[in-house]
């Protein structure tokens, strides 16, 4: 590689780096602006010019949100719903992926193609059917009514199926020779080999469930049953036109998933990579 080529590569790398930094700043600025605005007095927020830092730093909006609203109850509802969706979705997807990959039963291929086809259907198109079904069962304004329609995540089944397909057949054959049952083969051979995949998918599924808005918004009308993403929309009535208080509530709502991502970002990246591989 001559000096001219090296200089060209350095210039190209510098340009790419600058573009990446610019994109990162453009992405992060609204988050920064929301957090900073939530720390300003209301009169500073509504000023007609941009201020990157508050003249007067205040936490009163956060104190108001934590003490004058039902945000604590909304947090509990979100934790319960997100954990239930995560456990049920990952558990059922693991079993389904194992069955399709390793067992032989009638219409197995038809079931697999149905799962692949459902992966192409946006969940929003099923909202009306879900609402009618949940309403007819009397599950509106209940945790079951919020959780059950959110258990449809075909991508998790596909990831598990691909993983089980990649496991060498020798492990299964050795377990079968020892007269191990299917449940024992799954729990003693396959599951210990995919704890990393399960952890990654569980974290991402929890974040999906925590951030879900459309279905919980439709399924719940009682304030005490709302999740945090739905509950903060009701803060508007309590706060009037106080934008700073609304932003404080939004920051509190997003804080748990932001912390979860910072702590488990390697697992989240792994799950995103797995999902991207499926979509590709």
Residue 151 makes CB contacts below 8 A (sequence gap 6+) with 85, 88, 89, 92
Q: How far is CA 248 from CA 66, 186, 270, in A?
A: 10, 46, 31
Q: Which residues contact 32 (CB under 8 A, 6 or more apart)?
A: none
CB–CB of 256/210 below 8 Å?
yes
Q: How many residues does the chain have?
A: 280
What is residue 237's predicted lDDT score, i.e. its pLDDT? 47
Tens-of-pLDDT digits for all 280 residues of the chain?
555 565 665 777 788 888 999 998 888 888 888 888 888 888 888 777 777 888 888 888 888 888 888 888 999 999 999 999 999 999 999 999 999 988 888 888 898 998 888 878 877 788 888 899 999 999 999 999 999 999 888 888 988 998 888 888 888 888 888 888 888 888 888 888 878 788 888 888 888 899 898 899 999 988 889 998 888 877 654 455 677 888 888 888 888 888 877 777 776 676 666 555 544 4
Query: What are the chain's domains?
Result: 3-60 (no CATH), 68-279 (1.10.3720.10)
Per-residue CA distances from 106 to 103, 111, 150, 177, 230 (Å): 10, 9, 28, 25, 43
């Amino acid at each position: 590689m001559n000096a001219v080529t090296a200089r060209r590569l350095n210039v190209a790398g510098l340009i790419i780096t600058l573009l990446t930094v610019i994109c990162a700043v453009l992405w992060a600025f609204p988050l920064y602006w929301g957090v900073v605005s939530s720390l300003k007095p209301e009169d500073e927020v509504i000023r007609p010019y941009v201020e990157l830092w508050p003249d007067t730093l205040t936490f009163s909006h956060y104190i108001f949100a934590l003490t004058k609203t039902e945000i604590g109850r909304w947090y509990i509802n979100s934790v319960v719903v997100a954990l239930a969706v995560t456990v049920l979705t990952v558990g059922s997807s693991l079993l389904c992926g194992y069955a399709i990959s390793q067992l032989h039963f009638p219409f197995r291929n038809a079931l697999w193609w149905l799962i692949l086809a459902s992966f192409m259907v946006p969940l929003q198109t099923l909202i009306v059917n879900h609402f009618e079904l949940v309403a007819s069962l009397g599950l509106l304004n209940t945790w079951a009514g919020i959780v059950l329609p959110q258990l449809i995540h075909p991508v998790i089944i596909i990831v598990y199926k691909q993983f089980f397909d990649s496991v060498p057949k020798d492990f299964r054959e050795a377990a079968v020779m020892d007269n191990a049952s299917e449940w024992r083969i799954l729990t003693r051979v396959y599951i210990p080999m995919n704890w990393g995949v399960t952890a990654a998918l569980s974290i991402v599924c929890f974040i999906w469930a925590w951030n879900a808005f459309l279905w919980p918004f439709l399924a719940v009308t009682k304030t005490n049953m709302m999740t945090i993403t739905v509950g903060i929309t009701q803060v508007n009535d309590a706060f009037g036109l106080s934008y700073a208080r609304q932003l404080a509530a939004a920051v509190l709502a997003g804080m748990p998933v932001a912390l979860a991502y910072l702590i488990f970002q390697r697992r989240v990246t792994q799950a995103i990579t797995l999902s991207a591989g499926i979509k590709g």
